Chain A
């Protein structure tokens, strides 16, 4: 198959799979949970663009619907509120992983992937909040998100300023997914700027202007403009993203299409992103990445996730594509705890061992 046919196939695949819909949904968090529930991100998260601190509904749902069973008393749910104005939450992920690279010794070890604390001070309830996402481990503390959010129209139009994750595509938990690496927009790369957002009925939209340095110091006059629009009628959704980073190092333009659908106990997510980066190589490069993820909710508290990713690092070079296939089993035995068992297989050009590695991991995820 030629490169152009592969690109076309990737585009058609995503458009095809998100273009159809089905029946009512059940429960879950992370993007696939939103797809399964037919929710927008703001339904469960303080941040309208998703991720980070869960709101009262999100906390209640996580304790009663996400886990296999509940250990705590039924009539005493954690709601994250420390008094009337201050909400707190957190995440901690610890891993044991083993990696096999061809012609190299197998490596394995325990690792603290990250520990985060979230704080939201609603100094004027439902109108003005100050939000912090502090990474407290491994190593010293480092702010990820730190911004003030003002609802210009309560519940529908907001303005955010400070440091935050830029709006683009699916906000995946996996920062190493090809679509998140290619865009350079993930949970490790906040940027500084302002964002205006709209939450209106079945629509959700954001527009941001930022330094375009992914958290680094500003080094030129250029700025990055990013936008994301999503339509969420219920059992399916579709969205589009765009970003332009005007920098002395070379302009970078990205376009993305993403979506999801839910049918019975299955949730399917897809995304395809195209980037044109003048700062890569001597003549710039055009890159493409796609992502498809299928989730099967075996029963409450048990989820099987299968994903397939494809990355084209340079459209002008043939036979350099890479793929990444992941199979995960996620088990939430009781509230606030999730165990994940996963296997990832990377496939790339045969002369690069790292592009043909495999990984197996176990992760314990605690959250509140």
Chain B
């Protein structure tokens, strides 16, 4: 009989003990709350470590730092970090560039994760846009990246997927880091805005002077009517052109003058190196194509 009594006692006691355990556990876990973020940057790191919240890239830098600080570090490294990163892909700031650029994808070995100059055939972009041949859209289980974030990655790749500024020799030149649409890009959406990103703050007083910034319709050879040309408030490395009307299908060329007068220059007086010869001077041009949007359906 003794085992039976013991069993009954245990059965009577169990609900009370379980309830007590549940109460203790819930109370203690409820005290594990989110951090206040005091003294940390937007990525939850001590100031200066991750770069988030710092001023925009300085002279000689390009867009990869922005990609690292706004996409890779805060979002991707939730999984893609450390020795056990999925598929061996580590996207923390110390490893991301080397793991991405010109590295074959594990899931689709015929594609590079980042193919400089070709965002459409870069597996990183395909995964972010949810059109990769294998697996789910990234970030897995999280909200899709904003179109602005994807455009940032596309523009960086289209501009040659250059390494972060710290890996480059410092230069005293104003250069174009990227454009949207990018050189050679085939744009299918209704284009009314052209974005130019420089490596340094551009002198706003020069951009509006006739001929310094032009968008040429290659079919007619005439300049497209622009509604405005302006430096983005708060970020003088970004120049925006807004056309008077949606661009009709056709070929266009963006022209930025880096020689003669007026020539674009940084706020520090460094003239645009438009032809990328490492010396101040030379015009910049970027040609792109606008095609009609599909009548219905189409890729997202």
Contacts and interface: CB of A to CB of B under 8 A. Distances in A.
Interface of A: 1, 6, 9-10, 12-14, 16-23, 99, 101, 104, 107, 111, 113-114, 135, 138-140, 142, 175-176, 181, 183-185, 188-189, 212-217, 219, 224, 235, 245, 247, 249-252, 261, 263-264, 266, 268, 270, 275, 277-282, 290, 292, 294, 308, 310, 313-314, 317-323, 347-352, 354-355, 357, 359
A252 B90 CA distance: 14
A263 B14 contact: yes
B140 A188 contact: yes
A211 B135 CA distance: 22
A303 B133 CA distance: 36
Q: Is the interface of B mostly helix, strand, loop or mixed?
A: loop
B34 A175 contact: no
A330 B81 CA distance: 33
Contacts of B267: none
A21 B83 contact: no
A250 B83 contact: yes
Of A13, A18, A252, most B-chain CB atoms within 10 Å:
A13
A212 B35 contact: no
Of A181, A219, A292, most B-chain CB atoms within 10 Å:
A292
Given A216-B106, A310-B29, 14 more contacts: A6-B32, A9-B28, A22-B17, A175-B141, A183-B84, A188-B140, A275-B82, A277-B83, A279-B81, A322-B35, A352-B42, A352-B44, A354-B74, A359-B143
Nearest to B21: A20
A349 B14 contact: no
Of B38, B85, B92, B140, most A-chain CB atoms within 10 Å:
B85
Interface of B: 11, 14-15, 17-22, 24-26, 28-46, 49, 53, 74-75, 78-79, 81-90, 92, 94-95, 106-107, 132-137, 140-144, 146
25 contacts: A6-B32, A10-B29, A10-B32, A14-B25, A22-B18, A107-B144, A111-B137, A139-B135, A175-B140, A183-B84, A184-B85, A212-B84, A217-B88, A224-B84, A249-B95, A250-B83, A251-B83, A292-B26, A310-B29, A317-B45, A348-B34, A348-B37, A349-B34, A349-B35, A357-B143
Contact of A20 (B18, B37, B40): B18
A317 B46 contact: yes
Contacts of A250: 82-83
Of B24, B32, B106, B141, most A-chain CB atoms within 10 Å:
B32
B35 A184 contact: no
Nearest to B79: A181
Given A107-B143, A322-B34, A114 B83 contact: no
Contacts of B34: 321-323, 347-349, 355
Contact of B135 (A142, A181, A270): A142
B41 to A, nearest CB: 7
B135 A138 contact: yes
Contacts of A140: 133-134
Given A20-B20, A23-B14, A184-B79, A321 B35 contact: yes
Contacts of B87: 213-216
A176 B84 contact: no
A101 B143 contact: yes
The 3 closest A-B pairs by CB, nearest first: A216-B88, A349-B37, A22-B14
Contacts of A251: 83
A139 B134 contact: yes
A292 B35 contact: no
Contact of B29 (A13, A139, A318): A13
Given A10-B29, A142-B134, A351-B37, A263 B15 contact: yes
Nearest to B25: A17
A319 B46 CA distance: 11
A181 B81 CA distance: 10
A121 B133 CA distance: 28
A179 to B, nearest CB: 13
Given A138-B135, A139-B135, A349-B35, A270 B83 contact: no
Contact of B32 (A176, A217, A247, A321): A321
